[in-house]
């Protein structure tokens, strides 16, 4: 991972008073030396400014700062980053304070600025923090609740707000139904087995969801889409369009999957692909993922089909663009667990009629699929374009792994 030349970290310097006048220039010297070696700037911040960050940064300039750091830590509920350097007993103080904070159950990272890996660590942590900052304050809609079969994918909604500052707003399916327009222009894309009614139905659901999203200023939704079937509706086309427009569109009321979709948009600027792990060959390290919707920004081509389970409505059979992807699943009652692996989407098109319409073959690292089977976190997984494992793992460790 390369180091951005303009990366600047806001930090609160702590120094013991017994060092007197010398500490007035110590921060400047430490910061200048580190920037000269790495290109990363350290900017002195005020207490309130630093504590308002998702990951407050404290630079221990001298020894004797342990108690002050502990007092400041009590003012911040989330993770902390402690920086040390090689003079004035900075490192001994950092080791003592970090050990105490961790024994108290706090999530703390220690980076010693004089090590060769310090720059790489700080770049990674800054990316993870930027992701957390991008998610903070978002509003998402849970429409119709979670589907009843998602028995491991319905964490307390307060987890998203408490850990990440994401507000979850609940809506009934009636809120979609009452916004349905009587007519909408049909989808004109090539299709197979799709009737004219289905081509018009998909855009009607999209218009209704778009109105709900605009009215409540939502950045993402997850809808119990199977509840729409009894009204002759499917959400597959609508979720694809919304995803392409930058609104994370999730299926079946799955909040952990919706979080991964939000991460995809924030990290890459393009959507993720939410799917069922439908078939697995651990020996060959191949996983087949399938779902009835896919963002069109991710595919080489597609055709319209009916929804797999019901045989009705409008769904999408797309061919995901081959290349590197990161497969993500957040899990656990408080999203404290994660499955994150990098691999490759192969240029294969299974075309199976016994699976959901869009089907992807994912080549995983050695041993990853054995873990998928031995330590499952739930059904839906999300493919995010590119190599994102390091930043997502750091994000999860800092902001979600704490109970």
User: Do residues 143 and 213 touch, judged by C-beta distance below 8 A?
Assistant: no
b (16+ CB within 10 A) / e for 269-289 = ebbbbbbbbbbbebeebbbbb
Q: How confident is residue 1, by pLDDT bands cut at 50, 70 and 90?
A: very low
Q: 3 falls in which pLDDT band (50, 70, 90)?
A: very low
Mean pLDDT on 251-265: 96
Of the three residues 100, 116, 135, the one that is the final residue of a domain is: 135
Same domain, 149 and 118: no
Angle between helix 389-399 and 255-268 (nearest 10): 130
Give the DSSP letter string of 288-333.
Answer: EEEES---GGGEEEEEEE--TTTS-S-EEEEEEPPEEEEEEEEEST
Domain for residue 2, yes or no? no
Q: What CATH number has the domain bearing residue 45?
A: 3.40.50.10940
- State pLDDT tens for residues 260-316: 999 999 999 999 999 999 999 999 999 999 999 999 999 999 999 999 999 999 999
**pLDDT at site 332:** 94
Give yes or no for residue 24 having a pLDDT over 90.
no
Do 75 and 149 share a structural domain?
Answer: no
Same-domain status, 146 and 131: no
Asked if pLDDT for residue 329 goes beyond 50, the answer is yes
pLDDT given for residue 157 in this prediction: 86
As for how many domains the chain has, the answer is 2
Indicate whether 206 and 311 sit together in one domain: yes
Report the mean per-residue pLDDT for the chain: 94
Tell me: pLDDT of 190 over 90: yes
284, 339: one domain:
yes
Q: Which CA distances in Å does 118 have to 95, 110, 112, 125?
A: 16, 10, 6, 10
159 in a domain, yes or no? yes
Residue 3 lies in a domain: no
Q: Specify whether 215 is located in the same domain as 105.
A: no
Same domain for 143 and 131, yes or no, is no
The pLDDT tens digits for 31-67 are: 999 999 999 999 999 999 999 999 999 999 999 999 9
In the block, tokens 């921060």 appear at 27
Model confidence at 198: pLDDT above 90: yes
**Do 36 and 153 fall within a single domain?**
no
Spatial distance between the Cα atoms of 199 and 208, rounded to a whole number of angstroms: 15
pLDDT in tens, 78-123: 999 999 999 999 999 999 999 999 999 999 999 999 999 999 999 9
DSSP 3-state assignment of 109? Answer: strand
CATH code of the domain containing 302: 3.20.14
**List of residues 6+ apart from 104 with CB closer than 8 A:** none
Q: Which residue has the higher pLDDT, 5 or 381?
A: 381
* Same domain membership, residue 245 and residue 353: yes
The domain containing residue 102 runs over which residues? 8-135
Res 18 pLDDT > 80: no
Query: Would you say residue 259 lies in a domain?
Result: yes
Per the domain annotation, does 42 fall within a domain?
A: yes
Q: Of 92, 117, 135, at which residue does a domain stop?
A: 135
The reported pLDDT for the residue numbered 88 is 93
- DSSP state, residue 19: G
pLDDT digit string, tens, across residues 334-362: 999 999 999 999 999 999 999 999 999 99
Nearest to 122 by CA among 84, 73, 67, 74: 84
Over residues 239-256, the mean pLDDT reads 96
- Would you state the pLDDT for residue 151? 84
Which tokens belong to 317? 């059979």
Yes or no: say if 361 and 314 are a contact pair by the CB < 8 Å rule. no
Say if residue 117 is in the same domain as residue 149.
no
Element (H, E) at 41: strand 41-44
Asked if the structure places residue 376 within a domain, the reply is yes
Residues 150, 48: one domain?
A: no
User: Of 93, 117, 135, at which residue does a domain stop?
Assistant: 135
In a domain, 1, yes or no: no
Whether residues 230 and 323 fall in one domain: yes
CB burial of residue 311 (10 Å; 0-12, 13-18, 19+): exposed
Residue 390 covered by a domain: yes
């Amino acid at each position: 991972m390369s180091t951005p030349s303009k990366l600047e970290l806001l930090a609160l310097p702590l120094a013991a008073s017994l060092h007197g006048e010398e500490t007035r220039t110590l921060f400047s010297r430490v910061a200048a030396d580190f920037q000269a070696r790495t290109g990363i700037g350290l900017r002195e911040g005020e207490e309130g400014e630093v504590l308002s960050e998702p990951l407050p940064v404290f630079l221990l300039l001298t020894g004797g700062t342990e108690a002050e750091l502990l007092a400041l830590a009590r003012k911040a509920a989330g993770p902390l980053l402690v920086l040390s350097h090689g003079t004035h007993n900075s490192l001994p103080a950092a080791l003592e304070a970090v050990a105490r904070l961790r024994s108290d159950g706090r999530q703390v990272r220690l980076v010693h600025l004089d090590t060769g890996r310090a720059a790489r660590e700080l770049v990674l942590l800054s990316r993870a923090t930027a992701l957390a900052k991008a998610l903070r304050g978002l509003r998402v809609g849970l429409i119709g609740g979670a589907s009843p079969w998602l028995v491991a994918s319905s964490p307390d909604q307060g987890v998203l707000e408490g850990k990440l500052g994401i507000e979850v707003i609940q809506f009934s399916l009636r809120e979609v139904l009452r916004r349905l327009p009587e007519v909408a222009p049909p989808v004109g894309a090539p299709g197979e087995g799709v009737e004219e009614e289905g081509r018009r139905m998909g855009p009607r659901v999209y218009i209704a969801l778009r109105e709900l999203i605009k009215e409540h200023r939502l950045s993402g939704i997850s809808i119990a889409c199977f509840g729409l079937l009894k009204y002759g509706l499917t959400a597959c086309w609508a979720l694809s369009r919304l995803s392409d427009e930058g609104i994370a569109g999730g299926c079946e009321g799955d909040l952990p999957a919706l979080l991964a979709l939000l991460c995809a948009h924030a990290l890459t600027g393009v959507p993720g692909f939410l799917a069922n792990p439908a078939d697995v060959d651990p020996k060959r390290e191949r996983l087949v993922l399938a779902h009835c919707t896919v963002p069109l920004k991710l595919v080489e081509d597609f055709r319209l089909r009916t929804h797999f389970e019901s045989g009705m409505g409008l769904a999408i059979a797309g061919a995901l663009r081959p290349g590197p992807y990161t497969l993500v699943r957040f899990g656990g009652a408080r999203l404290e667990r994660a499955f994150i692996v990098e691999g490759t989407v192969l240029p294969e098109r299974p075309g199976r009629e016994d699976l959901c319409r869009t089907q992807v073959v994912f080549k995983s690292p050695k041993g990853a699929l054995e873990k998928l089977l031995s330590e499952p976190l739930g059904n839906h997984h999300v493919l995010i374009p590119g190599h994102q494992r390091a930043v997502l793992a750091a994000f999860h460790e800092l902001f979600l792994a704490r109970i």
